[in-house]
Amino acid sequence: GRMGDEGAAVYNCLLCDSYALVILGILPDRKLARGTKGRGAYEDLLEEFQLAKCGGPGGTNVMMLACPTCNAFAYRYELNQVAQGEFLRQGMAVLTPSVLVSFEDGQSPPLYRDENAGSDGKPRWRLCQGVGPAGLELDRSRTGRLHKPSLAPFGVDVRPLTLPEQLRGPRELSEAVHEACGYAEAMHVESADPAAALTRWRIATGERA
């Protein structure tokens, strides 16, 4: 049989405010959930996985991730799976500070499983642990990015970002994103406290914009 299913969570890129999925690891095997006892044990394992990978409720887990949108901006390419995969393989992707999304106060970020894994069909991400949308709507780029308007019912502000006048040209935005990514990476790497680094970065970039 195939490998276990991958578990994913939704993250929000703090630079461009897009939402995408990040794979967190291999979920506990569903075969363990046999009988009442097995089901209970399996649910405990899922919960442990969620806590280990997503952190407890209310924690801001800042991760440096290769946001598909920021990479498309910074490298001026059409956003698609091939371009995204190419950049990730070459280790050229820019990393931006991102946080895992919790959809309810006091709850850890929820976990999702692709119910179509192993088939050729489109991924079908369904909630498998925690509190959140039952299913996720991905956009057409096949990069794990979510169709943002689909998150509106769950309290996500889906209005497009308004750009300052000096960033309206295609080159200007791209340069600014590239610079901000580099700055954020440097801040993050040097710091023992990612959340504090992030606050410093936000203040600094906010002042510059």
For the stretch 52-69, pLDDT in tens is 988 877 666 788 898 988
Q: Tell me the helix, strand and coil percentages in the chain, rounded to 5.
A: 40, 20, 40
Return phi, psi of residue 85, to 5°: -60, -40
Provide the pLDDT for residue 88: 66
Provide the pLDDT for residue 60: 66
For all residues of the chain together, what is the average pLDDT?
82
Query: Over 60: is that where the pLDDT of 200 sits?
Result: yes
Tokens 């057409």 locate to 140
Q: How far is it between the farthest Cα atoms of the chain? A: 62
Q: What is the H or E stretch that residue 170 is in? A: helix 170-190
Residue, of 87 and 168, whose pLDDT is higher: 168
Query: Over 80: is that where the pLDDT of 80 sits?
Result: no
At 113, the pLDDT band (50, 70, 90 cuts) reads very high
* The token pair that represents 125 in the structure block: 């991400």
- The CA distance from 148 to 117, in Å, is 23
Task: Tell me the pTM.
Answer: 0.80
Provide the pLDDT for residue 49: 92
